[in-house]
Amino acid sequence: MEHTEDQARERDFSNYFEGDEWKLPSDVRVAEPAAQEFLKRLVDAGWDEKDVGLMELAFDEAIVNAIGHGNLGIPKIGSREEFLREVLQKQGSAPSDLTVAVKLNVTRDLAEVTIRDQGNGFDWQSASRSDADAEAEAGRGIRLMESFFDEVRFNEKGNEVTLVKRFTRAAP
């Protein structure tokens, strides 16, 4: 069986996903395998995979934002593709000790994840208000998180977000 480059990347990052507290490198390529591990833990805890796919997407976005905007200090620029190109360029010259801390609490009834970067933070109060232009690229991550989690809480500094989702069962 031949391994693809994506599989090799996943395997390279898998050692970061042990336990419920992760210390991820400021490498945007870690976001997807981290989000896949989050999804796996949700499914293993009894969540329905079809119900948590969008949570995985929002988690991925939170990791990318922590790395790009937080640790690397890249401002909101153009499209997502332009932002990711800038992140990939800048992460190679960033200090190797910049990390993103992730804490997970996943049970059958609750998913709570806290993501903290080492950046200067941002004005989350302004960014989380509904934009008149809901299609704007800026603020996309916050809108995703608010759409797919029951609670989205930032620390005062704006370099930590806690995402909470409660499992709701249909009444018998």
DSSP string, 7-36: HHHHHHHGGG-SSSEEEEES-GGGHHHHHH
pTM reported for the whole predicted model: 0.85
pLDDT at 75: 86
**How do residues 10-23 score in pLDDT, each as one tens digit?**
447 989 999 999 99
**How do residues 74-111 score in pLDDT, each as one tens digit?**
987 778 889 888 998 898 888 888 999 999 999 999 99
**How do residues 25-74 score in pLDDT, each as one tens digit?**
999 999 999 999 999 999 999 998 887 989 999 999 999 999 999 999 99
CB atoms within 10 A of CB 128: 14
Percent residues over pLDDT 70 in the chain: 84
Boundaries of every domain in the chain: 5-166
* Superfamily for domain range 5-166: Histidine kinase-like ATPase, C-terminal domain (3.30.565.10)
What is the residue whose two structure tokens read 């997502």? 80
What is the residue whose two structure tokens read 């939170």? 62
Secondary element (H or E) of residue 90: helix 80-91
